A = this chain, B = another copy of it.
């Protein structure tokens, strides 16, 4: 049945109709994907590789606002968030399972748009969608994705392998996704008040894309393999640099010194931060959702790492007893606290 706006109603499609709609075009790409959707469980055949698995949940109103997030982007980003965790193990993602809970305000077209983004991310990253669950909720949308990856035994990189004197490296630049979010929230507030003013988003393409359609750093994993650089520890930056470096040092039982002026910040990030009267460095240290990789390498690799574009050496690992410090440009030491994103905190 079609409602008055010409949208298909999920009530009439039913769960099985919906499953058919979102799975009908799936073709499995990975050799390890033995059985995908259609039985009680999917089946993987990982042979002699190690299997890596992670899961992430995104809820409406907390992780995304559908007022300014296109559903296709949301689908894409939901996958990326999970793949990023697999790459952070130095593994290659191979399959995902996608579960969604949706309220009656969602139409078939909206769910198709969401899955367009999910399928696009699968296609771009060579990942198979092999299962999941679709169900309803009283209010809002919840997305839960489980990603599976594979790596030969010796290749996996843990959070816990950092050693004293290792170089601390970060990919890309930091704080951009957080500034993109602040921009969107600002324009939403203006819109809520005036109801008609066109949002001022021009000239901020980069930070908006970093927020709405982030990528996972598969290129870096491939580059490190090519250059025969084996990180001693690695983590992806989803909650902010300060939070992640503390996780890494805690797991590795080390301390660290991070040099403030070495932290990569994009021009647009800096510009937006200044517009909002935020210190750009604060944004780069505490802003989440960049999905860049933070890793450590032995100091002997300094020449190799320095020769690579898009990787910055931002500090080094110290003894645990020396603590976790940020070194400011005037050489004073500031202790690093995790100010990363806490979804349970009310502002």
Interface residues of A in 131-159 (CB under 8 A from B): 131-133, 135-140, 142, 144, 146-149, 156, 158-159
A343 touches B53 (CB 8 A): no
Contact of A142 among B40, B85, B142 (CB under 8 A): B142
**Chain B positions within 8 Å of A11 at CB level:** 344-346
Interface residues of A in 1-60 (CB under 8 A from B): 10-11, 13-16, 18, 34-35, 38-46, 50-60
Return A193 CB to nearest CB of chain B, in Å: 22
User: Scoring A residues 100 to 123 as 1 if CB is less than 8 Å from chain B, else 0, what string do you get?
Assistant: 110010000000000000000000
Complex alpha-carbon distance, A85 and B132, angstroms: 12
Complex alpha-carbon distance, A190 and B49, angstroms: 57
Return A250 CB to nearest CB of chain B, in Å: 10
Complex alpha-carbon distance, A284 and B18, angstroms: 26
B38 touches A43 (CB 8 A): no
Interface residues of A in 49-106 (CB under 8 A from B): 50-63, 85-86, 88-89, 91, 95, 97, 99-101, 104
B46 touches A46 (CB 8 A): yes
With known contacts A13-B344, A97-B146, A136-B344, A51–B43 Cβ distance under 8 A: yes
**Chain B positions within 8 Å of A135 at CB level:** 57-59, 62-63, 343
Contact of A62 among B58, B95, B138 (CB under 8 A): B138
Best-surrounded residue of A16, A51, A104, A147 (most CB of chain B within 10 A)? A51
Best-surrounded residue of A18, A38, A338 (most CB of chain B within 10 A)? A38
Which residue of chain B is the closest to A346 with respect to CB atoms? B11
**Chain B positions within 8 Å of A160 at CB level:** 39
Return A172 CB to nearest CB of chain B, in Å: 17
A51 touches B55 (CB 8 A): no
Number of copies: 2
User: Scoring A residues 122 to 133 as 1 if CB is less than 8 Å from chain B, else 0, what string do you get?
Assistant: 000000001111
**Chain B positions within 8 Å of A44 at CB level:** 46, 50-53
Return A256 CB to nearest CB of chain B, in Å: 18
**Chain B positions within 8 Å of A342 at CB level:** 14-15
B85 touches A251 (CB 8 A): no
A236 within 8 A of B: yes
With known contacts A89-B40, A138-B139, A56–B344 Cβ distance under 8 A: no
B45 touches A89 (CB 8 A): no
Complex alpha-carbon distance, A8 and B251, angstroms: 27
A179 within 8 A of B: no
Return A124 CB to nearest CB of chain B, in Å: 20
Which residue of chain B is the closest to A342 with respect to CB atoms? B14
Which residue of chain B is the closest to A88 with respect to CB atoms? B40
**Chain B positions within 8 Å of A336 at CB level:** none
A53 touches B131 (CB 8 A): yes
Contact of A138 among B57, B61, B132 (CB under 8 A): B61
Which residue of chain B is the closest to A81 with respect to CB atoms? B133
**Chain B positions within 8 Å of A158 at CB level:** 35, 39
| Interface contacts beyond A45-B50, A55-B146, A136-B343: sample of 9 additional A-B pairs, CB < 8 Å, sorted by A | A18-B344, A39-B158, A40-B89, A44-B46, A46-B51, A58-B135, A59-B137, A136-B344, A142-B142
